Amino acid sequence: MLREELKPNAVIEGPFFPEPVQVVVMVPLGGAIKLVGKGEKTNQSYDPVLTDDQISPLAASPETEPYGGDPARFRLGIGAQRLGLAYEYDP
Protein backbone atom coordinates (compact mmCIF):
# COMPACT_ATOMS: atom_id res chain seq x y z
CA MET A 1 0.00 0.00 0.00
CA LEU A 2 1.22 3.51 -0.77
CA ARG A 3 0.87 6.68 1.26
CA GLU A 4 -1.42 8.17 -1.40
CA GLU A 5 -3.87 5.27 -1.04
CA LEU A 6 -4.59 6.11 2.60
CA LYS A 7 -7.73 8.23 2.67
CA PRO A 8 -10.23 9.16 5.40
CA ASN A 9 -12.99 6.54 5.87
CA ALA A 10 -10.82 3.81 4.30
CA VAL A 11 -10.75 0.54 6.25
CA ILE A 12 -7.24 -0.87 6.65
CA GLU A 13 -5.77 -4.03 8.14
CA GLY A 14 -2.20 -4.92 8.95
CA PRO A 15 0.29 -6.19 11.51
CA PHE A 16 0.06 -3.01 13.61
CA PHE A 17 -3.66 -3.36 14.30
CA PRO A 18 -5.50 -6.26 16.00
CA GLU A 19 -8.71 -5.48 14.08
CA PRO A 20 -9.83 -3.65 10.94
CA VAL A 21 -9.39 0.10 11.48
CA GLN A 22 -11.30 2.95 9.84
CA VAL A 23 -9.04 5.91 9.06
CA VAL A 24 -10.35 9.14 10.60
CA VAL A 25 -7.46 11.59 10.03
CA MET A 26 -3.93 11.47 8.63
CA VAL A 27 -1.39 14.06 9.76
CA PRO A 28 1.91 14.27 7.81
CA LEU A 29 4.97 14.43 10.09
CA GLY A 30 7.98 14.93 7.83
CA GLY A 31 8.81 11.49 6.39
CA ALA A 32 6.07 9.75 8.38
CA ILE A 33 2.31 9.90 8.88
CA LYS A 34 0.37 9.98 12.13
CA LEU A 35 -2.70 7.92 11.42
CA VAL A 36 -5.72 8.39 13.68
CA GLY A 37 -8.33 5.67 13.35
CA LYS A 38 -10.97 3.72 15.21
CA GLY A 39 -11.47 -0.02 15.41
CA GLU A 40 -14.41 -1.50 13.52
CA LYS A 41 -15.32 -4.01 16.23
CA THR A 42 -14.35 -2.33 19.51
CA ASN A 43 -14.38 1.39 18.58
CA GLN A 44 -10.95 1.62 20.21
CA SER A 45 -8.84 4.56 19.06
CA TYR A 46 -5.51 3.92 17.32
CA ASP A 47 -2.96 6.65 16.59
CA PRO A 48 0.38 5.20 15.47
CA VAL A 49 3.10 7.12 13.66
CA LEU A 50 3.97 5.12 10.53
CA THR A 51 6.84 5.47 8.07
CA ASP A 52 6.59 4.51 4.39
CA ASP A 53 8.18 1.12 5.15
CA GLN A 54 5.51 0.45 7.80
CA ILE A 55 2.68 1.56 5.50
CA SER A 56 3.62 -0.91 2.74
CA PRO A 57 2.32 -4.10 4.51
CA LEU A 58 -1.06 -2.48 5.23
CA ALA A 59 -4.03 -3.57 3.12
CA ALA A 60 -7.09 -1.44 2.41
CA SER A 61 -10.49 -2.91 1.71
CA PRO A 62 -12.17 -1.79 -1.53
CA GLU A 63 -14.40 1.29 -1.37
CA THR A 64 -17.30 -0.59 -2.96
CA GLU A 65 -18.14 -4.27 -2.80
CA PRO A 66 -17.21 -6.16 -5.97
CA TYR A 67 -20.30 -7.70 -7.57
CA GLY A 68 -18.47 -9.80 -10.13
CA GLY A 69 -19.80 -13.18 -8.98
CA ASP A 70 -21.34 -15.90 -11.11
CA PRO A 71 -25.17 -15.61 -10.90
CA ALA A 72 -25.71 -19.27 -11.87
CA ARG A 73 -23.58 -20.47 -8.95
CA PHE A 74 -25.35 -18.05 -6.60
CA ARG A 75 -28.73 -19.41 -7.64
CA LEU A 76 -27.46 -22.98 -7.18
CA GLY A 77 -26.17 -22.16 -3.69
CA ILE A 78 -29.43 -20.48 -2.65
CA GLY A 79 -31.40 -23.50 -3.90
CA ALA A 80 -29.18 -25.85 -1.88
CA GLN A 81 -29.68 -23.70 1.22
CA ARG A 82 -33.46 -23.71 0.69
CA LEU A 83 -33.56 -27.50 0.33
CA GLY A 84 -31.35 -27.97 3.40
CA LEU A 85 -33.70 -25.85 5.50
CA ALA A 86 -36.76 -27.63 4.08
CA TYR A 87 -35.38 -31.07 5.04
CA GLU A 88 -34.32 -29.84 8.48
CA TYR A 89 -37.69 -28.41 9.49
CA ASP A 90 -40.04 -30.72 7.53
CA PRO A 91 -42.32 -32.59 9.97
| pLDDT digit string, tens, across residues 28-85 | 998 899 999 999 999 999 999 999 899 999 999 888 888 889 999 999 999 999 999 9
Q: How far, in Å, CA of 87 to CA of 50, rounded? A: 54
Taking the C-alpha atoms of residue 14 and residue 25, their distance in angstroms, rounded to an integer, is: 17
Q: Domain locations in the chain?
A: 1-62
Q: What is the pLDDT of residue 63?
A: 80
**60 vs 5, 39, 88, CA distance in Å?**
8, 14, 40
State residue 5's pLDDT score. Answer: 82
Q: Does domain 1-62 have CATH number 2.30.30.30?
A: yes
Q: Select from 19, 1, 8, 4 the least CA-distant residue to 63.
A: 8
User: Could you give the 3-state DSSP secondary structure of residue 53?
Assistant: helix
pLDDT at 39: 96
